[in-house]
Amino acid sequence: MSDFRIHTLGCGSAKPTLRHQPSSTVVDYHDNLFMVDCGEGAQIAAQRFRLKLNRMRHIFLTHLHGDHVLGLPGLVSTLGLAGGGGHLTIHTFKEGERILNEIFGFFSRDLPIKVEFNVIRPEEAVVFENNSITVRTVPLRHRIPTVGYVFEEKEKPRHIDRRMCDFHQVPVCQLRNVKNGSDFIKPDGTIVPNRMLTSDADPARSYAHISDTAYTPSLAEKIGAVDLLFHETTYLDIHRKEAKARGHSTAREAGRMAALCGAKRLLTGHYSSRYKDDDAFRREALEEFPEVILNREGLTTNV
């Protein structure tokens, strides 16, 4: 099983249907959970799909439309009622901090969970970083301030060739330096090149979550050549004028974006309730890009 995977909790748009819930996605990286958006029903979906929400410490909001945030009051209350304490950081705009603080202050003030806010802006910026992964924002074109998020692994250490390290008598205390690319210098001054002691590191992986946005070709450079691109496919091309007017994209435009940025695979989603055949989104995107995954609730996608 992959240690970097995407769980889809909801891939519908503003109007919930019996087939799709509003937007919510969980990025599972080495069993650390990061939620992107929290539409209604997100916590129920997370429980249904056996996700351990006590491992979640960060929620990244793309924007402040209800279908992306209205699941938060219930989720925070549930996390508090679980009695585990701890803290939760919500990455959102300044107005989101004000609104959510008021809601949590009324409904969740006595719960043993500390909610903190990281105020973001509609700009390119790193908003989270630890030893293994970086999360950065990219500004999108919607009706209100909106960002997408790009999750990127940091460069990984090289693989030790145990046989060669033993042959050259590399001490254990030097293995970390060798893994990080250093040559080994023997006591007599002989330099053993790093390439003789190691093999290439596994490639760093990346996932971009591009939520509500009008099609913007210049966005491709900001996203980069990610391994997996989630790009909204709210409309089909027959309704492209309506998509542009409402700050959304068509499935065909999502396929074009995947090709422009050099993504390896495209994940569809944020479907308008007017369409009854979800596979139409995949078929249309395939006309522009060859690797398209049709999204649905409960789908787990390896990065």
CA distance 237 to 135: 31
- Give 3-state DSSP helix, strand, coil % of the chain, rounded to 5: 30, 30, 45
CA distance 20 to 27: 19
Length of the chain: 303
CA quadruple 293, 294, 295, 299: dihedral, nearest 10: -70
- Contact between 100 and 72 (Cβ < 8 Å): yes
Question: How far is residue 119 CA from its own chain's centroid?
Answer: 18
CA distance 267 to 87: 31
The residues assigned a catalytic role are: 67
* 3-state secondary structure at position 237: helix
* Cβ atoms < 10 Å from Cβ of 243: 24
Spell out the residues 6+ positions from residue 283 whose beta carbon is closer than 8 angstroms to its own: none
Distances (CA, A) of 237 to 35, 77, 216: 30, 40, 15
**CA end-to-end distance (rounded Å), the chain:** 11
